[in-house]
């Protein structure tokens, strides 16, 4: 099984060297039975990333490409990896350059695709259970809640049962990929899940650790991101009924995020299932109202 491990890259001078070192250390130790090639795809970095990985290429046998006209955006970077993988590979693994993915998940993905020919896609989730929660992991509250609520909407619109719509660590069987998918921004996962649903791809979701790095806490302006996500999602849907569902979910998401971001800077983290338990939602509302009354008394 020929494997391409694609690493989308944009201004990662702080992390790229450690990413390459740790990735090759793992591949050599644990994945020697697979014929693997590592490809760095630089989306036009303007920092020192290019100098760093060009020097590392003398030490490790990875390949690299660069969008000289970049940045084209996250979605187009993934699409370039799709195109490269379809040239000569059976499987594509997408693996982020910022040390937020655990290399050991690669082995599990490859084994599943090798041993189960009917699986088209192995996607990873940080929220399947409590197994990978660490006390020193602080998840940015806006990114966590947006993920949960967008995942709920995606499942309802596309008849899926995933628990983490935005984790970039995935294993794709290349014959299932299409060059017709198109979106340049961070909303690319929405377009991709629409494609998965339309094509009826067989997928499996597995756990992967939750890792967030200091300085990568939030992409900022959560309200604008949420608006963009829901607008794109509505454009993908033709059903008037589902369009109405999306609008309702958008209002709920904005309302909940506004309350949480205002009153709960230390938001408790739950699994996907826990997040939707009515008792938890009720408890959250009671807690918010209690804090409001305390503030009024002051």
User: Is the confidence at residue 296, as pLDDT, over 80?
Assistant: no
- CA distances, 254 to each of 9, 201, 223, 242 (Å): 31, 31, 7, 18
User: Are 143 and 219 spatial neighbours (Cβ–Cβ below 8 Å)?
Assistant: yes
213 vs 95 pLDDT, higher one: 95
What are the helix and strand counts (H, E) for the chain?
10, 7
User: Is the confidence at residue 215, as pLDDT, over 60?
Assistant: no
93-101 mean pLDDT: 93
Alpha-carbon span 154 to 148, nearest angstrom:
10
- CA distances, 242 to each of 3, 28, 214, 249 (Å): 38, 47, 38, 10
User: Are 269 and 133 spatial neighbours (Cβ–Cβ below 8 Å)?
Assistant: yes
pLDDT band at 291 (very low <50, low <70, confident <90, very high): low
Helix axes 240-263, 141-158, angle to 10 degrees: 170
pLDDT band at 169 (very low <50, low <70, confident <90, very high): very high
User: Is the confidence at residue 21, as pLDDT, over 70?
Assistant: yes
CB atoms within 10 A of CB 270: 16
57 vs 210 pLDDT, higher one: 57
292 vs 40 pLDDT, higher one: 40
With CA atoms as reference, report the closest residue to 89 among 165, 5, 151.
Answer: 5
pTM of structure: 0.89
DSSP one-letter string for 45-79 = --SSHHHHHHHHTTTS--EEEE-TT----HHHHHH
Alpha-carbon span 105 to 227, nearest angstrom:
32
At 42, give phi and psi (nearest 5°): -85, 120
Q: What percent of the chain has pLDDT over 90?
A: 66
Helix (H) or strand (E) holding 31: none
User: Is the confidence at residue 281, as pLDDT, over 60?
Assistant: no
User: Is the confidence at residue 122, as pLDDT, over 80?
Assistant: yes
Alpha-carbon span 9 to 215, nearest angstrom:
16
- Mean pLDDT rounded to a whole number for the chain: 88
Q: How many residues does the chain have?
A: 298
User: Are 6 and 41 spatial neighbours (Cβ–Cβ below 8 Å)?
Assistant: yes
pLDDT value for 180 = 76
* Token representation of residue 47: 């920092």
For 228-270, write each residue's pLDDT tens digit.
Answer: 999 999 999 999 999 999 999 999 889 888 887 777 666 667 7
Strands (E) across the chain are located at: 2-9, 35-42, 63-66, 91-94, 121-125, 170-173, 203-207
For the chain, the straight-line distance linking the first and the last C-alpha, in angstroms and rounded, comes to 66
For residue 113, the 8-state DSSP code is H
């Amino acid at each position: 099984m020929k494997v391409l491990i694609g690493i989308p890259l944009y201004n990662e001078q702080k992390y790229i060297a450690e990413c390459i070192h740790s990735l090759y250390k793992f591949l050599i130790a644990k994945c020697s039975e697979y014929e693997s090639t590592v490809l760095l795809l630089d989306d036009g970095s303007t920092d020192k990333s290019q100098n760093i990985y060009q020097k590392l290429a003398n030490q490790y046998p990875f390949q690299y490409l660069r969008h000289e006209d970049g940045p084209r955006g996250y979605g187009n970077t993934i699409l370039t990896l799709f195109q490269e993988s379809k040239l000569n590979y059976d499987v594509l693994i997408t693996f982020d350059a910022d040390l937020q993915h655990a290399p050991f998940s690669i082995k599990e993905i490859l084994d599943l695709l090798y041993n189960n020919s009917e699986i088209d896609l192995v996607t990873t989730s940080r929220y399947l259970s409590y197994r990978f929660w660490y006390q020193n992991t602080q998840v940015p509250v806006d990114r966590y809640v947006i993920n949960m609520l967008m995942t709920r909407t995606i499942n309802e619109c596309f008849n899926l049962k995933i628990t983490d719509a935005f984790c970039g660590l995935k294993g794709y069987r290349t014959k299932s990929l299409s060059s017709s998918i198109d979106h340049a921004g961070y909303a690319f996962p929405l377009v991709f899940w629409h494609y998965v649903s339309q094509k009826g791809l067989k997928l499996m979701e597995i756990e992967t650790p939750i890792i967030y790095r200091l300085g990568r806490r939030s992409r900022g302006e959560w309200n604008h991101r949420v608006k963009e996500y829901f607008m794109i999602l509505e454009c993908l849907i033709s059903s008037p009924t589902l369009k109405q569902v999306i609008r309702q979910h958008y209002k709920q998401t904005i309302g909940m995020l506004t309350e949480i971001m205002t009153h709960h800077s230390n938001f408790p983290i739950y699994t996907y299932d826990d997040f939707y338990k009515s008792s938890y939602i009720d408890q959250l509302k009671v807690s918010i109202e209690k804090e409001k009354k305390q503030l009024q008394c002051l």
